[in-house]
Amino acid sequence: MLRGRFQQETAASMQRLSESVSFDWRLFRFDILGSIAHAKALQKARLLTVDELSQIETGLLGIEKEIAAGTFAFRPELEDVHMNIEAELTKRIGAAGAKLHTARSRNDQVALDLRLYLRNECTEIRALLIDFQRALVELGRKYSNAVLPGYTHLQRAQPVLLAHHFLAYVEMIERDKERLADARQRINRMPLGSGAIAASTIPIDRAYVAQLLDFPELTRNSMDAVSDRDFVAEMLFVLALVGVHLSRLSEDLILFASSEFKFVKISDAYSTGSSLMPQKKNPDVCELTRGKTGRLIGNLVSLLTVVKGLPMTYNRDLQEDKEAVFDSIDQTKLVLEVYAAMIRELEFDTRVMQQAASDPALLATDLADYLVLHGLPFRQSHEAIGGLVAYSQKEQRALPDLSLEEYRRFSDRFEPDLYQVFQLDRAMTKRVALGAPSAKNVAAQLEAWDAKLREQ
Ligand code: ARG
């Protein structure tokens, strides 16, 4: 198609290197959508007759149907999805087809297709993220009273409600959704009319094209528009961070499902066994998610590396953007779907978790607060409780089993009511500040999220 100035055929090996249709064919809907809008603008500029426009539209819609049905034969020698569709159109309708590419380059065309594609994926991924949050909130509501130890440094720190733990991930994913919406604003700019680099001498009404394709804004610099891939990098970053969040949750669940913790059972439907060890049941969804996160981060780094050395403007290197972003989108959607389903079937052993959370040492901080409320400066109180904990370990007697007299050796501010501190239920009602995990707060958060997610 483009060989006007060439005297030799492209080498077969060159074709294999050059072709992108084997992966960019999936942009076909957006390519056709964009071409129809472009054709309408050409007609508005009197570069096409009404009849030619109608031939183009009918031709393109016919091709779209065939591609969707899987009956369209793509030709790798035509390189990419854009040229495959255009060549076929011209074969079918003749002269009118040959006018379609007027005032357009594949450089602005591919930028448009990619923006339309990503804009659509933003909507789909947002829906999956919302469903994922719902699954977490449902789980929190199902186990609304369950406590477990909260960990720092993977050491038991303080008791928390399981729902509070899950709501932490709901918050992370909410921020992922905000980032996605933010990235979408910059994806949502119309680049067509930028041509190859310097637009065109043929005037096209870009605002009209933007309106047809529902873009609220136009790109403002043709050189930037054909070479910018920030919007792809942002999408890849958002997805990498979604992956990182899911990978952290995976790590929690892998630990909690181990025999060492025994806090949770993952359903058989989302586990596999070992080919050798009959007793094994593995948390594969979590492990695969953790593993795929490496890929999501890799795709981001790969695109940034492709772009970093490019002189203005379009360079063929940019063809490498697509496989990275297709892969991140496919993997993220797959993981979100399976993971949400797995979460809905998790079974927590609230008894084992309660037992682990009932270790009185987890309330040592509450005991320090007790002394503070009885007038001791916190640093002194911290030191006194530290001494007590060491003493109880040496004595091999738990904190609640020490006598008042023993307590008073560490501070004269202890009163007989100190033993109330070790009531777990009571401890769970005490953390009332905004964002703190009191039972009342967590219940209110669960309600609030439920209502918010219903609205979305
Ligand atoms: N297949 C190309 C890509 O994915 C389309 C743009 C080609 N432009 C060019 N001047 N060769 O980037």
Q: What tokens does 297 get?
A: 């981060």
Q: What is the pTM of this model?
A: 0.95
In the chain, where the domains are located: 12-102, 110-355, 359-455
Pick the atom of ligand 1 nearest to 322's CA.
4
> Domain 110-355 is classified in which CATH homologous superfamily?
Fumarase/aspartase (Central domain) (1.20.200.10)
- Tell me how far apart the alpha carbons of residues 24 and 30 are, in angstroms, rounded to a whole number: 11
Q: Output the CA 319–ligand 1 centroid distance in Å.
A: 6
Q: What is the DSSP letter of 139?
A: H
Q: What is the pLDDT along the chain (456 residues), one digit of tens a residue?
A: 676 788 888 899 999 999 999 999 999 999 999 999 999 999 999 999 999 999 999 999 999 999 999 999 999 999 999 999 999 999 999 999 999 999 999 999 999 999 999 999 999 999 999 999 999 999 999 999 999 999 999 999 999 999 999 999 999 999 999 999 999 999 999 999 999 999 999 989 999 999 999 999 999 999 999 999 999 999 999 999 999 999 999 999 999 999 999 999 999 999 888 888 888 889 999 999 999 999 999 999 999 999 999 999 999 999 999 999 999 999 999 999 999 999 999 999 999 999 999 999 999 999 999 999 999 999 999 999 999 999 999 999 999 999 999 999 999 999 999 999 999 999 999 899 999 999 999 999 999 999 999 999
Residue nearest ligand 1's atom 7 by CA: 106
Ligand 1 midpoint to CA 99 (Å) = 19
Is 200 annotated as catalytic? no
Alpha helix positions (H), 74-197? 81-93, 95-99, 106-142, 162-187
Nearest-atom number in ligand 1 for the CA of 79 is: 1
For domain 12-102, which architecture applies? Orthogonal Bundle (1.10)
User: How much distance in Å is there from the Cα of 227 to the middle of ligand 1?
Assistant: 11
Phi (first) and psi of residue 272, to 5 degrees: -130, 165
Which one-letter amino acid corresponds to residue 163?
A
Q: Hey, what are 265's tokens?
A: 């059972």
Atom 4 of ligand 1, residue of closest alpha carbon: 319
Tell me: cis bond preceding 58? Omega within 30 of 0 counts. no
Return the residue whose CA atom lies nearest to atom 2 of ligand 1.
Answer: 319
Q: Which fold has domain 359-455?
A: Ribonucleotide Reductase Protein R1; domain 1 (1.10.40)
Sequence-distant (6+) residues with CB within 8 A of 451 are: none
Q: Of 13, 153, 275, 403, which one is the catalytic site residue?
A: 153
Active site residue 382: no
Q: Give the ligand 1 atom nearest the CA of 81.
A: 1
- Distance (Å) from CA 336 to ligand 1 centroid: 32
Identify the residues whose C-beta falls under 6 Å from ligand 1.
20, 24, 80, 106-107, 110, 314, 316, 318-319
Per-residue buried b or exposed e for 409-439, using 16+ beta carbons within 10 Å of the residue's own CB? ebbebbeeebeebbeeeebbeebeeeeebbb
